[in-house]
A = this chain, B = another copy of it.
Amino acid sequence: MTTIKDIAREAGVSVAMVSKVLNHPDCGRTETREKVLAVVKRLNYQPNHAAKSMINKRTGMIALIISDVRNPFFTEVARGLEDAANKNNYRVMLCNTDNDPLKQQSYLQALQGRIVDGFIISVASEDSRQLKKINRAELPFVLIDRECQNFRTDAVIVDNRDGAVKAVRHLLNNGRRRVGFIAGKQNTQTGRERMQGYCDALAEQGIAVEQQLIKEGHFTISGGYQAAKALLELPECPDALFIANNAMTMGALRALTEARVRIPKKIALVSFDDVEWAEFFTPPLTVIRQPTYTMGSLAGEILFQRLTEAKQSEIKEIVLRPELIVRKSCGSSLNG
């Protein structure tokens, strides 16, 4: 590999001079500068990253820790983060945990060797012990999507309860009375908040929560399928469905198709999470859209600020509002 020494030799100057020319635009005589720059170009020289970061105490890299890149939710977050990162001259490293705290721990460990300058994380569990061990001043990080228990730190999250309320309220406002709910894991914050929203929206209109209308779908495709099937077999079938995430929606959709249920005629449907294909589905799906790209770029901005600020400013907790996107599956009167 070409090193700074090679450049120095070829250009007939010292390594110190090369370094100065490269790092300080207004250093050295014009003649010297040009001489050095010419050799740099000719030899296609690129400073060694490890050596630089050792001195600068800056790697120019951040990590994004999520459960799985294949989830369109995270994919969008990743893109938002990467765009923000590039704008700030950072690169992004990707870490999939599959929601396994052990995998998460292994990544966290590695990151503490200063592979990166900071990281964004959607935690694998609500347990805050792993993160509490990390010195935020040395290795700043920002939580996204989920928070930890008893642990206040920088975070960008979504108001899940609000999203669920909007969904169920919309269904109710369009005349539906028996709204089935395919819930997510109740040992997660997002799962519980969406459940809360469902209950709150019913309460608003004085409708009692019926336990049999609520099925847990574990946030998975097969869970959604099973839950939808169970709901359809109820003696008194629901006339609407609120589904707590995109994976379960796919499963539920299959169950509804198999049972030849007409959407929205027989059952109206609103799903949490907007995905690319939702608007191309027949009928196009009414959804609660989370501002995922924004979540990624905002989390990035907060992190980059931490990385440059002289002394720690106060903790930033940003709560984003999800948005109801009315399409056809909800049978809204707006569609005529």
Contact = CB atoms under 8 A, between A and B. Distances in A.
A75 interface: yes
A133 to B, nearest CB: 6
B47 A113 contact: yes
A115 B61 CA distance: 10
Interface string A68-81: 11101001101100
Contacts of A257: 280, 282
Interface residues of A, number: 48
A18 to B, nearest CB: 15
A208 interface: no
Interface stretch (A87-95, A141-149, A173-181, A195-203): A87-95
A48 interface: yes
Interface stretch (A50-58, A160-168, A308-316): A50-58
A280 B93 CA distance: 32
Nearest to A103: B86
Interface string A105-116: 000011011110
A94 B78 CA distance: 9
A239 interface: no
A82 B66 CA distance: 13
Contacts of A276: 70, 250
A211 interface: no
Contacts of A93: 61, 91-94
A91 B79 contact: no
A79 B96 contact: yes
A54 B53 CA distance: 10
A254 interface: yes
B70 A75 contact: yes
Contacts of A70: 72, 75-76, 79, 276
Given A50-B50, A69-B69, 13 more contacts: A1-B138, A44-B133, A48-B54, A49-B50, A50-B51, A50-B114, A51-B54, A69-B78, A91-B95, A91-B110, A250-B277, A281-B282, A282-B282
